[in-house]
Amino acid sequence: MIFWIQYVTHGVHFGGLPEATTPQIDSALIDRLIQVESGGDPTAIGAAGEIGLGQIMEATASNPGFGVAGIDPATLTDPTVNRQFTTDYLTGLSDHYGGDLEKALAAYNWGAGNVNQQGLDAMPASTRSYIDSILNV
């Protein structure tokens, strides 16, 4: 299965160049990520305290970075809120890594700091398996 990132253009910059683009992650990719993360269980709580469909940590919900607005961690148990945050966060990571879904998924699973400091060649086998299970359906 192939996943797409669609870019939506907002306005036109001087000279006819796009002013800003917002990547939109394909909903099938989010569905697969959620299946891998929580088995689709909105009440799932991970071993490290991850919550809900996208297995979001409370600290990530509060202060996600990457241009993503934080949310109240108490709302992570709401499947609609969790799915939207998961989508927004992965979109922010994808944008940060120039649309590179492999890097974005590695950062989602292993942490952006690890990806930035160590690179994909150093990622653990569990992260490689995670990426493969989402992208190679």
**Letter string b/e over residues 102-129, b meaning 16 or more CB atoms within 10 A of that residue's CB:** bbbbbbbbbebebbeeeebeebeeebee
Tell me, what's the pLDDT at 23? 52
Residue 80 confidence class, pLDDT cut points 50, 70, 90 = very high
% of the chain residues with pLDDT over 90: 80
- 40 backbone dihedrals φ, ψ, rounded to 5°: 80, 10
Name which of 6-20, 68-82, 83-97 the model is least confident about. Answer: 6-20
> What pTM, to 2 d.p., does this model score?
0.83
Q: List the CATH number of the domain containing 30.
A: 1.10.530.10
Look up 37 and say whether it is catalytic: yes
- Decide if 40 is inside a domain: yes
- Decide if 13 is inside a domain: no
**pLDDT digit string, tens, across residues 104-129:** 999 999 999 999 999 999 999 999 99
Q: Which of 19, 37, 50, 58 is catalytic?
A: 37
* Number of domains making up the chain: 1
Provide the domain limits for residue 99: 25-135
**pLDDT digit string, tens, across residues 4-36:** 444 443 343 334 444 444 456 899 999 999 999
- H or E stretch covering 5: strand 5-12
The pLDDT mean for the chain works out to 87
